[in-house]
Amino acid sequence: EVTSTFTQGLPKAELHVHIEGTLEPDLKLKLAQRNHVDIGQTTIEDVQKTYQYDDLASFLAVYYPAMNVLQTEQDFYDLAFAYLQRAAANHVRHVEIFFDPQAHTSRGIAFATVINGLYRATVDARALNIDARLIMCFLRDFSKESARQTLAEALPYKEKFIGIGLDSDEHNNPPLKFARQYEDAAAAGLHLTAHCDIDQKDSIEHIRQALEMMDVERLDHGTNIVEDPDLVDFAVRHQIGLTSCPLSNSFVSPEMKGQEVLALLEKGVKVSINSDDPAYFGGYIGDNYYALADQFALTKAQVVQLARNSFETSWISEDQKRLYL
């Protein structure tokens, strides 16, 4: 039987966590005070009362305004280091952390402020026995011109992040909108992933574009792929990683998509379990493994396979992978 002690203690990699989604109510209030930003609430309970959402758009409407409390390089450091401490307690050995520069540059925070603070926390994470890397995401509901500008601003810092991703509101924002930025990022030696959120309009078409036309190495969420056997074959053949996030799913859909995860495991797709926005969706990575295992009666062997998949589809070197597998 799989216990929460087992899921917490299992060595694992986390491949789908948004650093802005790790902003806990207590740190939110502390930063609001430190930076004299009025967020409309003054107690943890009042902050938590605003956490009401039932789909991606209503979640994002709560998520973005809260970022106003992040102002200085130290704020970004504190945010990331707090997450990394929790990750260490969840026996995360390797993490690839998403950040959304446009959510900050669009409100006047310099790109350097964001990446330097986050990067310094990843360096200090070595003392926690975690290998931490950064993935820069484009906001897909912003223009491609904004993405182009963001990539141009980021490339001088390319030693500080390992890949690019695509997040925010997927509705009418297909991966191909950013084909040019993906090409340029790949040419700069960066890894590629993209969100294909669950149960979106055009889910399968978006997955097809990302896999067949843009050469992404992973799909974030992406579990709607089970509806298309040819794409499932493609994912198996190309060892595409799918980063599923059970607790996040249960907020924006009636279910955590356990049947889909199990079906994909069975077919040999490299699916992994992740936390997405743990401060908003009620749990860190160990809780996500446990919720899925508990609700869908996973065996220990299945849970171990999910953790193996997280290392296998991570972007660490093959040498480093051998240390974990």
Numbered residues of the known binding site for substrate:
277
Would you call 32 helix, strand, or coil by DSSP? helix
> Whose CB is nearest to ligand ADE?
167
Tell me: does residue 197 bind Zn ion (CB under 5 A): no
Tell me: does residue 248 bind ligand ADE (CB under 6 A): yes
Q: Are the C-beta atoms of 8 and 90 separated by less than 8 Å? A: yes
Q: Of the candidates 302, 299, 298, 320, which has an alpha carbon nearest to the alpha carbon of residue 311?
A: 320
**Contact region for Zn ion (CB under 5 A) — 106-114, 183-191, 201-209, 272-280?**
272-280
Size of the site for ligand ADE (CB under 6 A): 10
Which residues lie closer than 8 Å to 27 by C-beta, 6 or more apart?
Answer: 78, 79, 82
Q: Are the C-beta atoms of 306 and 293 separated by less than 8 Å? A: no
**Contact region for Zn ion (CB under 5 A) — 23-31, 149-157, 271-279, 308-316?**
271-279
Report how far residue 311's alpha carbon sits from residue 165's, in angstroms, rounded to the nearest whole number.
Answer: 18
Nearest distance from residue 220's CB to Zn ion, in Å? Answer: 5
By beta-carbon proximity to Zn ion, the closer residue of 32 and 95 is 95
| x/- map, 192-211, ligand ADE, by CB under 6 A | ---x-x--------------
In terms of phi and psi (left: phi > 0; alpha: psi -120 to 50; beta: otherwise), the region of 316 is beta
Instruction: Spell out the alpha helix ranges (H) of 155-268.
Output: 179-187, 203-208, 229-237, 246-252, 258-267
Tell me: does residue 73 bind Zn ion (CB under 5 A): no
Residues 150-169 that bind ligand ADE (CB under 6 A): 167-168
Tell me: does residue 276 bind Zn ion (CB under 5 A): yes
Size of the site for Zn ion (CB under 5 A): 1
Report how far residue 106's alpha carbon sits from residue 174's, in angstroms, rounded to the nearest whole number.
Answer: 22
Tell me: does residue 14 bind ligand ADE (CB under 6 A): no
Q: Which of ligand ADE, Zn ion, none binds 21 (CB below 5-8 Å, type-dependent)?
A: ligand ADE
The pairing of beta strand 163-167 with beta strand 131-139:
parallel
Q: Are the C-beta atoms of 11 and 93 separated by less than 8 Å? A: yes
By beta-carbon proximity to ligand ADE, the closer residue of 10 and 87 is 87
**Which stretches of the chain bind ligand ADE, using CB under 6 A?**
18, 21, 56, 167-168, 195, 197, 248, 276-277
